[in-house]
């Protein structure tokens, strides 16, 4: 195979030597345009955009694999990816070639029938910036258009690759303010020769927006901000002038406001509307941000936009005045449903806040909303006003600093893992969470320019100090696959899992639902009643949504495997319950597949080796605050790692001895960012004191378990 990877940006390819197309590529690879995507059902063997169709239903009409023969599925091919961190991509498959992504936004082109690598595009994301991404170095996939393949990068660039040979066509910076922690994890969407991309970062304090670029040249065409800018200056458009009236005070200007468009979009070519899902607020704390006043538009909303101009058309806000990280960035599905005798063009979403919404997608008017998961922050959604009826119990900013339990919490009743809609069963298949956390009001912390520092204005998911407390929370958090009737707004069947963060779903005309699980399996269920018909080991947790496609008349199903993302990095203690280690790979199955699964080769776990420490209890407590503020997004809250990056309770004696050096960048080449100039020497000492304490805790715990045997 010709693997043409990681050409540094400053090297100009030799123009006199035409690059030979790798063997296995069609003459015109990735030759997709709008007409082809609109007519996707005429070539169901391809999967040409992230949700397969512009409706984003993630339903495939292929039916060679059915509920009758799915038991004969076997491995067709396996490909080990470069980085064992979270894998979240939906592959694109066009004319026998698969384009998919792994960690650090690396793009792979495979022969879709054999798994042979045709080329690889590494955008050279600075691995040391990993501390500035909220949720691991993840990427949710590529988009293709007229011979190019597009990927947004963790460090906020949009890169176009030539599908013929993997050379770079263009590479542009999408970030408006490099002093803030913007990053891209979502897949681009493309319509009318425009590539649309948003970004993430609301947990670090940013102002959300999306941008449209010319697919051919990368030239910027328009930009839409989701929250108003500094009221002292004119707003970019009328929609933002209107939004400004729904914010109070000016604290949010420095805090960023939030509303990041970090994942889902959908497009209706007939209505000519682009739908974007907007994220949570920066800061989370409604009082600190906006004096607990106003709806704070357009946070936590679905916004319909004219893709030609970037102009606002309508919005529906799911959580006015969001205070809990209730993003509405979750997957949106367009469908035409029979509701009370009328065919309605609807948009469906199960955002984090726990309500399943059915909305008229021409007007933005709410049709129905019901709880699909346990919810305490609102009693119901009023169908007259379209607004939630808030429950005061969730208003932590009114509780004098007392911890306040809210259902769901910040990972929602459902996070980014895509759902799917099967028009035959009429059901939506949702990777659901049963989730709760405590939020606690803290004294207004003000704005901090430290880039990798959570800026929430509230303490959330404090786990206490004891492993018993931590276990309590991990037991609270469970997942399931929920089959939901969107017309009746009720559950049809549900299958439980041990943790949250199971995989996105795929539904097919073979009466099947495919899903991978956090506990390391790939599974097929009967779509009508949820009976499990097939499963196979995945060797790691699966979060991404599978796809299905056909090459030479044979149907394949591909799962992107790899544990990581927000849950496994931040909440190591709870994610360990899934019992998997990170191992990133592509697994493709077909009927009668006979390939043998190569064994996974997980790194060894060291026993804790804490040195003596004379630190005071105050130092340890200060170290804990520093750790949970700066380090927990990768190394896990209270230093219990989910295994995606090293468990700092298991540092070797040598590493303890060189601890200040590691914090200052000694392991930069291995991906540990340098915090030189960010922590004072005293802060480094306190951090270390806390980690020594946690190593002692673990050592004691392991010894106890040993004795118990």
Ligand X SMILES: O=C(O)c1cc(C(=O)O)c2c(n1)C(=O)C(=O)c1cc(C(=O)O)[nH]c1-2
Contact at 8 Å (CB) between 444 and 465?
no
Residue 580: closest CA among 608, 546, 542, 545? 542
Residue 16 makes CB contacts below 8 A (sequence gap 6+) with: none
Q: How many residues bind ligand X (CB under 6 A)?
A: 20
Instruction: Find the part of the chain contacting ligand X (CB under 6 A) among 200-208, 300-308, 548-556, 588-596.
Output: 200-208
Q: Does 327 interact with ligand X (rule: CB under 6 A)?
A: yes
Q: Is there a catalytic annotation at residue 325?
A: yes
Q: What is the rounded distance in angstroms from the CA atom of residue 125 to the CA atom of residue 13? A: 20
Q: Does 322 interact with ligand X (rule: CB under 6 A)?
A: no
R_g of the chain computed on alpha carbons: 24
Q: Does 279 interact with ligand X (rule: CB under 6 A)?
A: yes
Report, in Å, the least distance between residue 198 CB and Ca ion. 12
- The reply to whether 635 sits in an annotated binding site is yes
Residue 283: closest CA among 265, 301, 267, 299? 299
Sole binder of ligand X in the list 73, 109, 135, 512 (CB under 6 A): 135
Answer with the entry of Ca ion, ligand X, none that 109 interacts with (C-beta below 5 to 8 A by kind).
none
Per-residue x/- track, 7-46, Ca ion (CB under 5 A): ----------------------------------------
Tell me, what DSSP letter sits at residue 385? T
- The reply to whether 280 sits in an annotated binding site is yes
Q: Does 411 interact with ligand X (rule: CB under 6 A)?
A: yes
CB-wise, 262 or 357, nearer to ligand X?
Answer: 262
| Rounded (10°) CA dihedral 486, 491, 495, 498 | 90
Instruction: Find the part of the chain contacting Ca ion (CB under 5 A) among 195-203, 483-491, 542-550, 685-693.
Output: 195-203
Report, in Å, the least distance between residue 27 CB and ligand X. 36
Residue 75 makes CB contacts below 8 A (sequence gap 6+) with: 536, 587, 588, 589, 593, 594, 595, 596, 597
- The reply to whether 634 sits in an annotated binding site is yes
Sole binder of ligand X in the list 98, 138, 394, 430 (CB under 6 A): 138
Per-residue x/- track, 270-289, Ca ion (CB under 5 A): ----------x---------
HEC sequence for 40-105: HHHCCCCECCCCCCCCCCCEECCCCCCCCCHHHEEEEEEEECCCCCCCCCCCEEECCEEEEECHHH
Q: Does 565 interact with ligand X (rule: CB under 6 A)?
A: yes
- The reply to whether 631 sits in an annotated binding site is yes
Catalytic residue among 325, 441, 519, 697: 325
**DSSP one-letter string for 317-346:** ESSTT--S-----S-EEEEEEEETTEEEEE
Q: What is the rounded distance in angstroms from the CA atom of residue 111 to the CA atom of residue 118? A: 7
CB-wise, 258 or 486, nearer to ligand X?
Answer: 258
Q: What is the rounded distance in angstroms from the CA atom of residue 272 to the CA atom of residue 149? A: 24
**DSSP one-letter string for 187-224:** PPEEETTEEEE--B-GGG--B-EEEEEETTT--EEEEE
CB-wise, 67 or 88, nearer to ligand X?
Answer: 88
CB-wise, 325 or 515, nearer to Ca ion?
Answer: 325
Q: What is the rounded distance in angstroms from the CA atom of residue 478 to the CA atom of residue 499? A: 4
Q: What is the rounded distance in angstroms from the CA atom of residue 396 to the CA atom of residue 78? A: 48
Residue 404 makes CB contacts below 8 A (sequence gap 6+) with: 393, 394, 395, 396, 438, 439, 440
Answer with the entry of ligand X, Ca ion, none that 260 interacts with (C-beta below 5 to 8 A by kind).
ligand X
Instruction: Find the part of the chain contacting ligand X (CB under 6 A) among 195-203, 214-222, 551-559, 586-594.
Output: 195-203
Please give the order of strands across the beta sheet that includes 107-111.
92-94, 97-101, 107-111, 117-121
Answer with the entry of ligand X, Ca ion, none that 22 interacts with (C-beta below 5 to 8 A by kind).
none
Q: Does 277 interact with ligand X (rule: CB under 6 A)?
A: no
CB-wise, 29 or 156, nearer to ligand X?
Answer: 156
Q: Does 174 interact with ligand X (rule: CB under 6 A)?
A: no
Q: Coil, strand or helix: which one is 573?
A: helix
CB-wise, 191 or 261, nearer to Ca ion?
Answer: 261
Sole binder of ligand X in the list 49, 280, 353, 548 (CB under 6 A): 280
| Residue 292 region by backbone torsions, left for phi larger than 0, else alpha for psi between -120 and 50, else beta | left
Output the residue with the shortest Cβ distance to ligand X: 200
Q: Does 325 interact with ligand X (rule: CB under 6 A)?
A: yes
Q: Does 199 interact with Ca ion (rule: CB under 5 A)?
A: no
Answer with the entry of ligand X, Ca ion, none that 200 interacts with (C-beta below 5 to 8 A by kind).
ligand X
Q: Does 550 interact with ligand X (rule: CB under 6 A)?
A: no
Longest dimension (CA), the chain: 74
Which 14-53 residues touch ligand X, going by CB under 6 A? none
Instruction: Find the part of the chain contacting ligand X (CB under 6 A) among 144-152, 291-299, 397-405, 410-418.
Output: 410-418
**DSSP one-letter string for 400-452:** TT--EEESS-TT-SS-SS--EEETTTTEEEEEEEE--EEEEE---------TT
Q: How many residues bind Ca ion (CB under 5 A)?
A: 3
- The reply to whether 285 sits in an annotated binding site is no
Answer with the entry of Ca ion, ligand X, none that 135 interacts with (C-beta below 5 to 8 A by kind).
ligand X
Give the binding site for Ca ion (CB under 5 A): 202, 280, 325
Known binding-site residue numbers for heme c: 631, 634-635, 672
Give the binding site for ligand X (CB under 6 A): 88, 134-135, 138, 185, 200-203, 260, 262, 279-280, 325, 327, 411, 415-416, 565-566
Residue positions annotated with a catalytic role:
325
Known binding-site residue numbers for Ca(2+): 203, 280, 325
Known binding-site residue numbers: 88, 140, 185, 201-203, 260, 280, 325, 352, 631, 634-635, 672
């Amino acid at each position: 195979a010709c693997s043409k990877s990681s050409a540094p940006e400053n090297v100009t390819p030799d123009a006199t030597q035409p690059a030979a197309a790798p063997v296995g590529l069609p003459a015109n690879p990735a030759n997709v345009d709008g007409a082809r995507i609109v007519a996707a059902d005429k070539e169901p063997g391809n999967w040409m955009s992230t949700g397969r169709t512009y409706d984003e239903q993630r339903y495939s009409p292929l039916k060679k694999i059915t509920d009758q023969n799915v038991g004969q599925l076997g491995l067709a091919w396996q490909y080990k990816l470069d980085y064992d961190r979270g894998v979240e991509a939906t592959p694109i498959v066009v004319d026998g070639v698969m384009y998919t992504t792994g960690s650090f936004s690396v793009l792979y082109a495979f022969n879709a029938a054999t798994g042979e690598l045709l080329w690889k595009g590494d955008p050279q994301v600075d691995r040391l910036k990993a501390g500035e991404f909220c949720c691991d170095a993840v990427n949710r996939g590529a988009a293709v258009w007229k011979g190019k393949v597009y990927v947004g990068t963790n460090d906020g660039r949009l890169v176009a690759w030539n599908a013929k040979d993997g050379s770079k066509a263009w590479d542009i910076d999408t970030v408006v303010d490099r002093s803030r922690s913007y990053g891209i994890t979502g897949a681009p969407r493309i319509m009318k020769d425009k590539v649309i991309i948003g970004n993430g970062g609301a947990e670090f304090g940013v102002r959300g927006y999306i941008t449209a670029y010319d697919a051919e040249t990368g030239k910027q065409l328009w930009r839409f901000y989701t929250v108003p800018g500094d009221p002292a200056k004119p707003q970019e458009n009328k929609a933002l002038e209107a939004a400004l009236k729904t914010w109070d005070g000016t604290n949010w200007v420095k805090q960023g406001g939030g509303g990041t468009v970090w994942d889902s979009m959908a497009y209706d070519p007939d209505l000519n509307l682009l739908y974007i899902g907007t994220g949570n607020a920066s800061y989370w704390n409604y009082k600190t941000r906006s004096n607990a006043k106003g709806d704070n538009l357009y946070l936590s909303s679905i916004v319909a936009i004219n893709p030609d101009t970037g102009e606002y058309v309508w919005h529906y806000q799911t959580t006015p005045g969001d205070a809990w990280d209730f993003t509405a960035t979750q997957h949106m599905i367009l469908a035409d449903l029979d509701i009370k005798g009328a065919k309605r063009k609807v948009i469906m979403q199960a955002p984090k806040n726990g309500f399943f919404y059915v909305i008229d997608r021409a007007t933005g008017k709410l049709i129905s909303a019901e709880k699909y998961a346990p919810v305490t922050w609102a009693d119901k959604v009023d169908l007259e006003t379209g607004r939630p009826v808030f429950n005061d119990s969730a208003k932590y900013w009114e509780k004098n600093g007392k911890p306040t339990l809210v259902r769901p919490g910040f990972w929602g009743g459902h996070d980014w893992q895509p759902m799917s809609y099967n028009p035959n069963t009429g059901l939506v298949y949702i990777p659901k969470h049963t989730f709760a956390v405590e939020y606690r009001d803290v004294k207004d912390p003000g704005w901090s320019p430290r880039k990798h520092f959570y800026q929430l204005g509230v303490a959330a998911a404090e786990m206490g100090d004891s492993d018993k407390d931590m276990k309590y929370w991990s037991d609270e958090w469970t997942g399931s696959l929920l089959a939901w009737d969107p017309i009746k707004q009720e559950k049809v069947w549900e299958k439980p899992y041990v943790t949250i963060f199971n995989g996105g779903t795929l539904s097919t005309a073979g009466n099947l639902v495919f899903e991978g699980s956090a506990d390391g399996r790939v599974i097929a269920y009967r779509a009508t009643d949820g009976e499990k018909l097939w499963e196979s080991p995945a060797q790691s947790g699966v979060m991404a949504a599978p796809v299905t496609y056909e090459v030479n008349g044979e149907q394949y199903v591909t799962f992107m495997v790899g544990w990581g993302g927000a849950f496994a990095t931040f909440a190591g203690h709870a994610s360990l319950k899934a019992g998997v280690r990170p191992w990133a790979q592509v697994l493709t199955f077909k009927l009668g597949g006979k390939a043998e699964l190569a064994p996974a080769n997980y790194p060894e776990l060291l026993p804790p080796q804490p040195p003596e420490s004379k630190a005071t209890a105050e130092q340890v407590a200060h170290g804990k605050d520093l750790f949970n503020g700066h380090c927990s997004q990768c190394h896990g809250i209270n230093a219990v790692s989910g295994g995606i990056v090293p468990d700092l309770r298991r540092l070797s004696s040598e590493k303890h001895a060189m601890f200040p050096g590691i914090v200052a960048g000694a392991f930069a080449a291995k991906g540990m960012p340098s915090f030189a100039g960010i922590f004072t020497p005293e802060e480094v000492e306190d951090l270390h004191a806390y980690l020594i304490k946690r190593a002692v805790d673990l050592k004691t715990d392991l010894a106890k378990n040993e004795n118990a045997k």
